[in-house]
Structure 1
Amino acid sequence: MKLTTSLLAGVALATGLAGAAMAQDDPFQVGFIYIGTPGDYGWTYEHDQARLAVEEHYGDAVETVFLESVPEGADAERAITTMVLGGADMVFTTSFGYGEATNAVAGQFPDVYFEHATGYLREHDNVSTYSARFYEGRAVIGHIAGHLTETNIVGYIASYPIPEVIRGINSAYLHAREVNPDIEFRVVWAYTWFDPAVEGDAAQALIDAGADVLMQHTDSTAPQAAAQEAGILSFGQASDMFQFAPRPRVSSIIDDWAPYYIRRVGEAMEGTWTQSDTWEGIAEGMVAIGEMTEAIPAEVQASAQAMIDAIAAGEYHPFTGPINRQDGTAWLADGEVADDGTLAGMDFYVEGITGEIPN
């Protein structure tokens, strides 16, 4: 677990001069708790890019600090507490498993603002949650994958069986199947957000099983490297990842947290911050699709762009019926759109995906 120099200084201040009042012209300190390292060039990298955007936007008025590679659980509670004691006025905790720890610390520090990414727990008035509609982006890359696969086998490296990940698998599969009824998804659960060795092994297992397209909901670039080595197609996750698989990478899902972070920090500084549950997607720019390379035929690029435009305009929702559950029972009738409550708690596969969701 890495502490930035500024955070270490803040901890020393908190422990050595407890109770001393901060000068009124001190910068507003914003802390970030990371599940991985900014060097993952995926999930944590994009959160850190947004942190830097906050610094650039507010200049000397804001100071940011971060802790990287913080495990979910008790370690997270200690890390968040350390950050607050070090002077943080606002803390963004950037992984699903930080929910309980975030709320536990928030209850002890009611004057500090807390924002929890991809979570749902808001047990105190000073806690907000935020997430992106990643399933919108996965609908687009599923559409592309369905067109491009030649073996009709798409490999999917999944992290943990939580609704966010299950939604993504379902969305990608539905849109791949729409253009290729023979498509088969094979899912490997890695039980990690970031472990290059595990992710690389999962990628190789899927390649050995015949997958010629890889998707991932994990954070390292190891699957990209495996795809490059095998000469199969892959999609970047969270960031573009272009430099790790220039070929045969085809596109990517990009998370852009900067506008949200800048907005919420500004509201906290102005005293207009209120508790909220934010869920934004392609329309708001929180989810973007990376450059579509020449590996994608022009007509497929055009149809994918049309889907992006329709989602952005609110004219199309990736979960529009008819859709059945995996067991064949009806879920959404023809033309019916899934409600956010069901999507937020999604714990089932759609019809056509084989295998079981692990507990």
Structure 2
Amino acid sequence: MNRRSFLTTTAATAVAATAGLPLRAAEPMKVGFIYVGPVGDMGWSFQHDQARQAAEKALGGKVKTTYMESVPEGPDAERALTQLALQGNQLIFATSFGYMDAVVNVAKKFPKVKFEHATGYKRADNLGTYDARFYEGRAIQGYLAGKMTKSNKIGYIGSFPIPECVQGINSAFVAARKVNPDVEIKVVWAYTWFDPAKEADAAAALIAEGCDVIMQHTDSTAPQAKAQEAGNVYTFGQASDMSAFAPKPRIGSTIDNWTPYYTKRFTDAVEGKWASDATWGGIASGMVEIGEITSAVPDDVKAGALELKDKIAKGYHPFTGPLNKQDGSVWLKDGETPDDGVIAGMNFYVEGIKAELPK
């Protein structure tokens, strides 16, 4: 700004103040999001979008957010992130694991823009990561499944065979086996995060194999609808409560609560305190919540599930030895727990799971 324009601006400000006119407020910081599914999926993308809205409201006009939904992983994600950066968004959230390479590439092109990637592990000075310990919530589901199954067969719909999903399968199975040594777990991979038709087919296949409890790491309510058609098959809400689509019988849900995190990161960015970080929250931090456990569950079973939840919040690890890998080799000795690096890279099933893990 040259001296003349500086003086002109200063004079205009002084006149406005003297005349009692309102000064122009600072422009709100622009924050962008991309979602892998529609915001109405009632699961993963829905929860992120609810948190986006809540965090924007909490900042009271200091932040203006925008989002793009149903953005496929791959080149489309890179184009969407580039578009958000060119639109002037100063903080951008990429909310699916498969966005990782895209967000890394775009972050390099826009070094002054701050980026965050959900469930990823690649970072840079302007790129942070955040994740939730979903496997803690899966342990609660596994406990309930082990107690509620009558066929001793639990079904699990996986999205992709990545560590995040493998953690959940192992955690659910370990918890179920502790309360029901006869339980089996059967896995069907849908190879999608959100596809109601594929998810319904996966649920139907598991039910046909005799599974009377179905878990899912996919985002639509289709598996729950398929379970209701079959009758006497229990399900859980995924990522959100899904209570509006609550089929009977229904046990409960795990809930991803991103609101406190987004509120904090918005605030950090507005106040100039944002820095690249790696966050991995769980039940203790409130990032993973356990929804209402329904009346379909006996009181003593509900009490046991809530006791396990409290234990995890106080430091108990769902993966506490002795535990072996699927091939029988020792993974964790008695009382031993894994470090975060081992969990983050989990690429094996625990002993007792008969399914083959895709490579």
> What range describes the TM-score normalised by the shorter chain of this pair?
over 0.9
Compute the displacement of 1:128 (Å): 0.3
The answer on whether the counterparts of 2:225 and 2:247 sit within 8 Å (CA) in structure 1 is no
Counterpart of 2:245 in structure 1 is: 244
What's 2:216 paired with?
216
1:154 touches 1:211 (CA, 8 Å); kept in 2? yes
| Structure 2 counterpart SS, 1:275 | coil
Distance in 1 (CA, whole Å) between partners of 2:42 and 2:60 is: 25
Letter in 2 for 1:52: Q
> Secondary structure of 1:130's match?
strand
Measured in 1, the distance between the counterparts of 2:122 and 2:312 equals 28
Distance in 2 of aligned mates of 1:109 and 1:266: 21
Question: What percent identity do the matched residue pairs reach?
Answer: 61
Q: Could you give the per-residue CA deviations for residues 104-126 of structure 1, whole angstroms, max 9, x where no partner exists?
A: 1111111111000000011x200
Does 2:343 correspond to 1:343? yes
Q: Deviations over 1:133-169 (max 9, x none)?
A: 0000000010000000000010100000000000000
Name structure 1 gaps, 5 residues minimum: 1-22
Q: Which residue of 2 aligns with 1:8?
A: none
Q: Which residue of 1 aligns with 2:166?
A: 166
Distance 1:59 1:97 in 2: 32
Alpha-carbon deviation of 1:227?
1.1
CA contact (8 A) 2:62 2:270 kept: no
Paired with 1:236 and 1:337, the residues of 2 have a C-alpha distance of 28
User: SS at 2:220's partner residue?
Assistant: coil
Question: In the aligned structure 2, how far is the partner of 1:27 from the partner of 1:274?
Answer: 19
Unaligned stretches of 5+ in structure 2? 1-23
Q: CA deviation at 1:24?
A: 7.7
Does residue 136 (structure 1) correspond to residue 147 (structure 2)? The answer is no
Letter in 2 for 1:153: K
Separation in structure 2 between the aligned mates of residue 76 and residue 90 of structure 1, nearest angstrom: 16
Listed one character per residue, the Cα deviations across residues 240-287 of structure 1 (whole Å, up to 9, x for unaligned) are 112212421111010000000000111011111111110000000000
Instruction: Say whether residues 1:176 and 2:176 are aligned partners.
Output: yes
Determine the structure 1 residue equivalent to 2:270.
269
**Structure 2 counterpart of 1:14:** none
> Given residue 176 of structure 1, which amino acid in structure 2 is its aligned partner?
A
Q: What residue identity is the alignment partner of 1:76?
A: A
2:333 maps to 333
Q: Equivalent residues in 2 for 1:256-335 (5 A)?
A: 256-314=257-315, 316-335=316-335
Kept in 2, the 8 Å contact 1:242–1:249? The answer is no
CA RMSD for the aligned pairs? 1.0
**Number of aligned positions between the proteins:** 335
TM-score normalised according to structure 1 size: 0.92
Give 3-state SS (helix, strand or coil) of 1:168's partner.
helix
Tell me the distance in 1 between the aligned counterparts of 2:303 and 2:209.
31
Runs of 4+ in structure 1 off by over 2 angstroms are none
Cα distance in 2, alignment partners of residues 225 and 131 from structure 1: 28
- Which structure would you say has the larger Rg? 2
